[in-house]
A and B are shown apart, each in its own frame.
Chain A
Amino acid sequence: MSLLEIEDVDKSYGDEEVLHDVSLAMDQRDVDVIVGPSGSGKSTLLRCVNRLTEVDDGAIYLDGEEIHGMDENDLRRRVGMVFQDFNLFAHRSALGNVTLGLTEVLELSETEAKSRAEEFLGRVGLADQADSYPSQLSGGQKQRVGIARALAMDPDLLLFDEPTSALDPELIGEVLAVMEDLAEGGMTMLCVTHEMGFARSAASTITFLDGGRIVERGPPEQLFETPEKERTRTFLGQLTDLNR
C-alpha cells in the first residue's frame, strides 16, 4: 500500500481551476519532486495534502486512510511542512520554534521537548544557534530551523514548498544538503522545488505539473533524458540552464 495516494483531485478558487484530476502515489522512502511554472498548482497540491486547503473533489489517502475523515490536527502532526518564507515563530528562539509543537501537540514535558529539540537542531547543524531568534539567523539557518521544527514531530511525510526560492544563492546549498541527508535517511518527502541538482540526485520521481494537470511523471533519468512530451523537455531544459 502506498503511503500517500492522491486520487483525481480537483480544486478551484472561484472560477479558476487550480488542480484538475491530479493523481499520484508515493511509497514510503520515496522522494517526489514536483516542478512546474508558477501558477501551475504545485503549492495548492501540497496544501491539500495537509488540509491547509480542502479539495473540491477526489480523495487523498495517508497510509490507506482518507484524510478528510481524519482529525486535521492529527493529520498535520503526521505530515510536516516546510515553507518557502520559513514562517518561523518570530517571538520564539530557534529552540522555542521546535519545542512548541512538542509540548502543545505531542504533549511532551518541557525537559523532554528541550532535549529532543536540541537533538534535531543538531541534526540540521544548528546546535549552537538554539537561543537565537529568527531575526538573528540567516535565511539558510532559518530554513534549517523550519526543517528541524517539522522533523521533530516525527512525521510520516514531509512537504517542502519551494524551500530554497526565498534564499540568496550562496545559502541554498546548506538547505539542500540537509534535504539530501533526509532523503538518504529514508524520509518520505514531497517537494516543490526547482533545484534540478537535488531532483537529479535525490528524487525517486519527478512530476511535471502545468495548468493544474500532471503533464508527465516518472523517474528523473526518464524525464531528463527521454521525456514523452515536448513541453517537459522545454521546461526542464530551461530549469537546468537556470540552475547552472
Chain B
Amino acid sequence: MTDGEAVTDPTETRGSTIGSLPGRRRLVVVAVGSVFWTWLLARWAYHNTVLDWVATAFGTPDLVRAEQGVRGREGWIPAAPFEGAAEAVDGVAATLGPASALVDWLVWLFDLAAFATTTAPALAAGAFVTVYLTVVSMLLGLVIAVPLAVARIYGGRGLRSIALAYTELIRGTPLLAQLFFLYFGLPLAQIAESVGFTGQGPVPRAAAAVAVVGFTINSSAYQSEYIRSALQSVDPGQLTAARAVGLSELGGIRHVVLPQGLRFAIPGWTNEFVYLIKYSSLAAFITVPDLFRRARTIGSETFQFTDIYVIVGLFYLALVLTTALAMGRLERWVAIPGLGSASDRG
C-alpha cells in the first residue's frame, strides 16, 4: 500500500477488492475488463442465432454468422505478429548460449499469445455456455433457496426436517455424482429432448438442460445455507414488531425479515456464485460444450494442454473477477443507511 487513498472504509472492501483499488491501478483493471468484455460480447453477438434471424430479416444476412460451426471460426486478432515476435526472441535466445533461459519465458509467452488468438473463438463460445449455465442456475437456485431457508428457520417440525434433509443430502454428495445421476441414471436427457431441448437455434441442448437442473438443485442447497444464516442475523424484534402491527408471520417474513436478511446474504451469495462459475466446468463431463470442454477438446487436438489450461484459467478468472465486481456494486446499490454496515453489526 503506497497510496494514501488505498485506506478506505472497511465496508467498501467487502463486496470486491477491485472497487477499493487506488485510481491508476483501478483504471488498468477497468480498461482490461472493458476490452475483454467488448470482445466477448461481440463474439457472442456475431454467432447469435436470434441476431442472425434479425439481421437476415433486415436484409444483411452476412452481418451475423450463427450457422458457422465453432471449430471453423476464425479469430479477429491475427496470430502472425505474436508468432513473429516469438521467432525473433527465439533467434536472440540462440545467440545467448547458456544465458538463453533468461528470455525463453518470453518465447513461451508470445507462443501462448499466438495460440490464444487462434483458440479464442471456440473459448468464447464455451464461455457463453458457462455464463448461462451459471446465471440461470443461480437465479433458479435462489427461487428454491429462499423458501428453503425460511422453512429451516420458521417451519414446523416436519417442514424443517424436509428442508434439512434436502440440504444435507445435496451438500453431502459430490456434484459430479449428482450430475451423472441426473444424466445417466435418470432419463432426464430424453425428457429434456422430448420437450424441445434439441440444440436447434437458440434452444440449448438436452445435456445443458440437465446441467442447469443439476446446478440449480446443488446451488439451491448452498444458497439456502447462506441465506439461512443471514436471516438469522436479523434481529428477532423486527418480526415481533411486524406481528405487533398486525402482519401475519409470513407477511412479516416477506416484508421485514427478507428485505433485511437478503441484503446481509449478498457477500455469501457472491461466494456461491463464484464457486458455481468454476464448478460449472463439471458440465463438461456430461457432454455440455462449456468453457472447460472446449479447452479440453483443443488440448487433445493440439496436445498443448498446459497452454490451453492457462488460457482457459484466465477466462475463468475474468468471469470471477467480473462477478465479484458486479456483486460489490449491487451490494452498494441496495445498501440502506445503517443496515448491515460494519459499524452496525460488529
Residues in A lying within 8 Å of B, measured CB to CB: 50, 52, 73-74, 76-77, 80-81, 83, 85, 87-91, 100-101, 104-105, 133-136, 149-150, 153
Contacts and interface: CB of A to CB of B under 8 A. Distances in A.
Contacts of A81: 244
A149 B244 CA distance: 10
Interface in B227-260: 235, 237-238, 240-248, 251, 255-256, 259-260
A105 B245 contact: yes
A105 B337 CA distance: 26
A76 B339 contact: no
B248 to A, nearest CB: 6
B66 to A, nearest CB: 45
Contact of B256 (A74, A89, A133): A89
20 contacts: A50-B244, A52-B240, A52-B244, A73-B246, A76-B244, A80-B244, A83-B241, A83-B244, A87-B235, A88-B241, A89-B256, A90-B238, A100-B247, A100-B255, A101-B245, A104-B247, A133-B337, A135-B338, A136-B337, A153-B246
Given A85-B237, A90-B238, A133 B246 contact: no
A75 to B, nearest CB: 8
Contact of A153 (B245, B260, B338): B245
A91 B341 CA distance: 12
Contacts of B92: none
A10 B127 CA distance: 67
A83 B244 CA distance: 10
B344 interface: yes
Nearest to A136: B337
A87 B240 contact: yes
B336 interface: yes
A91 B260 contact: yes
Contacts of A101: 245-247
Contacts of A77: 245-246
Nearest to B241: A87
Top-9 shortest CB links A-B: A135-B338, A87-B241, A101-B245, A77-B246, A105-B246, A87-B237, A81-B244, A76-B246, A133-B337
B241 A91 contact: no
B47 interface: no
B293 interface: no
B244 A89 contact: no
B251 to A, nearest CB: 6
Interface of B: 235, 237-238, 240-248, 251, 255-256, 259-260, 263, 336-339, 344
A135 B336 CA distance: 9
Nearest to A102: B245
Interface centre among B243, B245, B337 (most CB of A within 10 A): B245
Interface centre among A80, A81, A104, A133 (most CB of B within 10 A): A104
B338 A134 contact: yes
A150 B113 CA distance: 67
A149 B245 contact: yes
A134 B237 CA distance: 14
A77 B242 CA distance: 11
A153 B344 CA distance: 30
A205 B262 CA distance: 46
Contacts of B246: 73-74, 76-77, 101, 105, 153
Contacts of B247: 73, 100-101, 104-105
A106 B245 CA distance: 10
A34 B191 CA distance: 68
Contacts of A105: 245-247
A70 to B, nearest CB: 12
A131 B183 CA distance: 53
Given A52-B240, A104-B251, A104-B255, A91 B245 contact: no
Contact of B242 (A50, A80, A89, A133): A89
Contacts of B240: 52, 83, 87
B28 to A, nearest CB: 36
B233 to A, nearest CB: 12
Interface centre among B244, B248, B337 (most CB of A within 10 A): B244
Contact of A135 (B243, B256, B344): B344
A105 B251 CA distance: 9
A46 B51 CA distance: 65
A209 to B, nearest CB: 21
A133 B336 CA distance: 8
Contacts of B248: 73
A85 B338 CA distance: 16
Given A83-B237, A104-B251, A135-B344, A91 B259 contact: yes
Nearest to A152: B245
A91 B339 contact: yes
Interface centre among A73, A81, A87, A134 (most CB of B within 10 A): A87
A89 B239 CA distance: 9
Contacts of B255: 100, 104
Given A87-B238, A90-B336, A90-B338, 10 more contacts: A52-B243, A76-B244, A80-B245, A83-B240, A87-B237, A87-B241, A89-B256, A91-B260, A135-B337, A150-B244
A65 to B, nearest CB: 16
A73 to B, nearest CB: 5
